[in-house]
Chains A and B, each alone.
Chain A
Amino acid sequence: MQVEIIIAGFGGQGILFAGQILAYAAMDAGKNVTWFPSYGPEMRGGTANCTVIISDEEIGSPLVRHPRAAIVMNRPSLDKYEPLVQPGGVLVVNASMAGRAAERTDVEVVALPANEMAEALGDRRLANMILVGALLARLPVLTLEQVEHALREHMPGRHRHLIERNIRALQEGARAAQAAFTPAMPG
């Protein structure tokens, strides 16, 4: 089984880090995983994205046109990736920054005001982990415990004091997602 996740938003929203934490968790769980960042000129425009593929077998392409899931943290990312998620897949939207509701009915949509939720947790930068928690609540490719373990194991030294609040953000996102998702309508 292979699951593809695209995480997209503005630079500074922790897009690449959110993908790396999923990749670390997948590696520690003994799975094959690839993490592929945008590194081109689009980054100069302030947008960032990464593709994480988690699989039981050797991974071919590290990029896919139609991911199983997308976390979109701003409006340009919602516009770009909403049409591309596989039917039946999961679209996680940062409602604080999206500026509109998702329109697809054939994917499961989870929309959370992640910025405000992060601020309520005391740090605006936790929006990424809230949305990762929300994703995992609806697409159990990894358990929350596996991601928590990855945070504890792989958070770089200068950020280690942020581990516990990142874990709280994950849990908060997962909890909120169970109350805030719109299931996919059968095609």
Chain B
Amino acid sequence: MSDDARRLKPVDVVIVGGGWAGSIMAKEMTEAGRSVVMLERGPDRSTASEGAYPASIDELEANFRYKLFQDLSKNTVTIRNNSQQTALPYRRMAAFLPGEGVGGAGLHWSGVHFRIPPDDLRMRSRVIEKYGARFIPEGMNLQDYGVTYEELEPFFDRAEKVFGTSGEPYMINGKVVGKGNVFSPSRSDHFPLPALKDVYTAHLFRKAAEEAGFHPYSLPAANASRQYVNPYGAQMGPCNFCGYCSGYACYMYSKASPNVNILPVLRQHPLFDLRAGCHVLKVELDADGRRATGVTYTDPDGKVVTQPAELVILTAFQFHNVRLMLLSGIGRPYDPVRNEGVVGRNFVYQNVTTSNVWLDRGIETNQYIGAGGGGVAFDDFNSENFDHGPLGFVGGSPVWVNQAGVRAIAAAHSGGPPGTPRWGSAWKAGMIDTYRHSLRIDAHGSNMAYRDVYLDLDPTWKDAYGQPLLRMTFDWKDNDIRMNRYVVDKIGDVAKAMGARRVNLTKREFGRPFDTRQYQTTHLGGGAVMGSDPGTSALNRYLQSWDVHNVFVIGANAFPQGTGYNPTGMVAALAYWAAHHIRTTYLAHPGPLAG
């Protein structure tokens, strides 16, 4: 196919995927004076059109017809729980909801904007230091990222300033300055905006968590608590807690998105060329496979064209980056039997369960009020903030009320307390009581990497372009189930302190396989991870392919294991980190940045 493809005029940099990572890399590369083509397979999108009030806040279209999400009819994945099964196509949206179109999932995300805990970056080393190497279960591929929090700090800071993130700090330059998360590392500066107000449920949760002896803090949110102008000159309006974040373009210009915070500036740049409706088929390599020469894609008319470039940056969603590496022959595919190869290895998810608390019928919890990134959390059982020694599991979970706005169809589907019928008068009564008087508390846990959990290409099913679908082999493991069950019990303590009328603690169950039919989270990770050992990582610590030095791969694919936090803050920081090293070193001296 590539031989017949029309060849376009060469450019300096081609970027695959128009979400957060792609927009950050494009901004950085144009600042460095390089010509950039950004290819996005979905349509062009802007807040002015997709976010126009009131038509944009249509729950049916946004959350049940997936207006801004990936078109599964063209491309999906296959899924199985273990390598003995036949993986079957993920035919309908359910467990996870990947994005599509300019802005990517960054247009319709919620806005929780974290810095990764320092211990998570060196999880393997930390666990061995604290508990010894034998503590790591057989078959768990626990790894370090190969980069430290201190190295990443300036880039976390940069990302927060670009995103207009609202939050309360705890420590700046080693000095305690505020009531933020006592477990969070020292920062070089304040958040650009103060924390959002607590919605009522978050307010109640904060008081109860304190009473239960935990350390609640305001979730860092890329939802602007005040009017804000970011370092690029992009403007945000103050969040009005409309309750339409996840699945929607923010009509208030309050939720950070590539479309609001970067692209309005980037689109004006003469070196920037955005091409929507362009689906990349593969990265082209030279004859010995050591250097990329560009990418081949189908344009909006269905013509196959090749875009030559000096530098190829993959910034598609986590699993699309991994698939493109497999389709292009970049890096050695993972073989779980021989335990060799790296592309597809350490595929991870996130271990989220949502519990429910019913309060007195005199208390209206107003679940329709919300900001996607707002809320109150405690980290007493996240990362290495607690002693795992007697517990016998690796990993942890923040606990929070993150009331992003519960809308009517979702409330109808959730229905009443466990045991309530799904329809009829009993359902109606239970649903109304639950909507008006309850709140949701999440355990948003980590998911470790395992030797028999991985990504490869499916032998049977193809996408609309005739290329094999990506195959996921995934199931929950006892270590992660034990972690979830331990942390969810703490939610019971908080609910008691809240004076709950009724509590439903939702825990992962041993032996119950991963269920693709129920939404869990879109925080997928790994599969092309960063690290310091080419034997266990596809990318070096600068997110550069070990094998093809002019290919960088930016995304949650780089996480060696799943964290308890939402991934976007880390992805943005890694993008700025990689861009910094490309600008300061690679452009002048192209070649491997790590030996």
A is bound by B: no
Chain A interface residues (CB < 8 Å from chain B): none
